[in-house]
Amino acid sequence: MENGTAKTIQICMGSACHLKGAPLIAQAFQTELDKRTDTTATVELGGAFCQSQCIDGVVVRINGETYTHVTVADVPALVDICLREE
């Protein structure tokens, strides 16, 4: 579905980010989105190829914006950012 307001969360699944815990962060995003049942359907959660910022991993793209050094603790705030943007 492409309606111009789709929100996306893409977690880098390259090997460096994987080693730094990207799968745990992906799980944390899923858990956080599940808690917000009214908004889950509007957010597309997925993986991304290496973002060429391996040294700054874990790298996450929220609505096209890149965030680095992401940890599980950052996930609720990043979901807030994702949902807040128009």
Binding site residues, ligand FES, CB under 6 A: 12, 14-17, 50-54, 57, 59
Specify the residue, 16 or 81, whose C-beta has the smaller distance to ligand FES. Answer: 16
Whether omega before 72 lies within 30 degrees of 0, making that bond cis, reads: no
- CB 7, min distance to ligand FES, A: 21
Specify the residue, 33 or 70, whose C-beta has the smaller distance to ligand FES. Answer: 70
Specify the residue, 49 or 86, whose C-beta has the smaller distance to ligand FES. Answer: 49
- CB 55, min distance to ligand FES, A: 8
Assign residue 82 a region: left if phi > 0, alpha if psi is -120 to 50, beta otherwise?
alpha
Per 3-state DSSP, what percentage of the chain is helix, strand, and coil (rounded to 5)? 45, 20, 35
